[in-house]
Structure 1
Amino acid sequence: MSREIKFRAWEKETTEPFPWKGAEQDECILSIDNDGTIDAKSLDDVWGDHGEHSEWVDHDVEVEQFIGLQDKNGKGIYEGDIIRFTEEDTASFVGPVEYMADDDYPAFDIPDKYIPEGFYIESNVISNGVARGILEVIGNVHENPDLLEVKK
């Protein structure tokens, strides 16, 4: 089984999307060094004493991966998205998509601290929600951090 490998990037300081793909005015690049370090640069025009020239400007970005699944509306789900999981009885909760490798769980999922007591989910929350058509992307951790509320 194969899936599309895609990424998006956000400027850490401004929480704005980094336009590394499809930038119209500035040329932008995102590269991964051999040690896993991610470099983001944009080619910005600079006005100097002798006219205009261009120079590369470094950007501090956070890179997030497409997890290979879509929500009930067909929107691609990325690491850092905030999703709403709504059961048929309208009980719901909201949580961020995270890669859980640090918890010895190498998968994209919602951390337990966002799942209220009383919800019993047998497997991966995201896969379960996508399979049942009850998962919706409602924002992301950069633009909508106010949507996150720990329920426990």
Structure 2
Amino acid sequence: MREILFRAWDDVKDRMYHAGEEDDVVFELTGVGIKATAITEEEEEFQTLHHLKYMQYTGLKDKNGKEIYEGHVLETRHMEVGRTFIGRVTFSYGRFAVVYPGCYRQDMGESVWDCTVMGTEIIGNIYENADQFPHLLEGRDEA
């Protein structure tokens, strides 16, 4: 069974939060989704962070052992095609996939997706590196 992990992008502070690893933000799973609350000593009331963009861990790691999340930008060397492709990780239709713009979509089912054999590497994400990958941003909030 894969580990269920989340991270969240704060587009106000330009910061990535990792659920369970933060000192100033608490995440909780509610009946309607994830709720993040900023906890700081400077404020009288804690603030709910409604603006965060949540991303789930795929359960897979890249060739360097880094955890792959939704929103990551991957570079994959396909040996049989002899080409390198750059795409972004999405979650739709109940599964994770890598979308290669103008090319194709590849499901990331564990039985067919071996990141170490394919030479897949995380080269950024669609939030922190948006200016480097503008062609990958189309529909990023819907996927």
TM interval, shorter chain, is: 0.7 to 0.9
Identity %: 26
The answer to which structure has the higher strand fraction is: 2
2:2 — aligned with what? Answer: 3
What is the aligned length? Answer: 131
CA shift for structure 1 position 148: 4.7
2:31 — aligned with what? Answer: 34
**Secondary structure at the residue paired with 1:82?**
strand
Q: Distance in 1 between matches of 2:68 and 2:22?
A: 22
The alpha-carbon distance between structure 1 residues 112 and 73, as it changes in their structure 2 partners (threshold 3 A), is closer
Q: Distance in 2 between matches of 1:17 and 1:132?
A: 29
C-alpha offsets along residues 11-40 of structure 1, whole Å, 9 cap, x if unaligned?
Answer: 13333113653334x3x211232123x321
AA in 1 matched with 2:107: N
CA shift for structure 1 position 111: 2.4
Q: Distance in 2 between matches of 1:23 and 1:7?
A: 12
- The correspondence for 1:94, drawn from 75, 86, 91, is 86
Listed as ranges, the gaps of 5+ residues in structure 2 are 137-143
2:97 — aligned with what? Answer: 109
1:134 — aligned with what? Answer: 119
Listed as ranges, the gaps of 5+ residues in structure 1 are 47-52
Larger Rg: 1
1:44 — aligned with what? Answer: 40
Q: Distance in 2 between matches of 1:96 and 1:58?
A: 29
Misfit runs of 4+, over 6 Å: none
Greater mean alpha carbon deviation, residues 76-85 or residues 124-133: 124-133
**Secondary structure at the residue paired with 1:14?**
coil
TM-score by length of 2: 0.75
The answer to which structure has the higher helix fraction is: 1
Q: Distance in 1 between matches of 2:102 and 2:92?
A: 14
Aligned-pair Cα RMSD in Å: 2.7
2:141 — aligned with what? Answer: none
CA contact (8 A) 1:45 1:55 kept: no
2:69 — aligned with what? Answer: 78
TM-score by length of 1: 0.71
C-alpha offsets along residues 87-142 of structure 1, whole Å, 9 cap, x if unaligned?
Answer: 237511211100022xxxx21112253537xxxx8x63674352633211111111
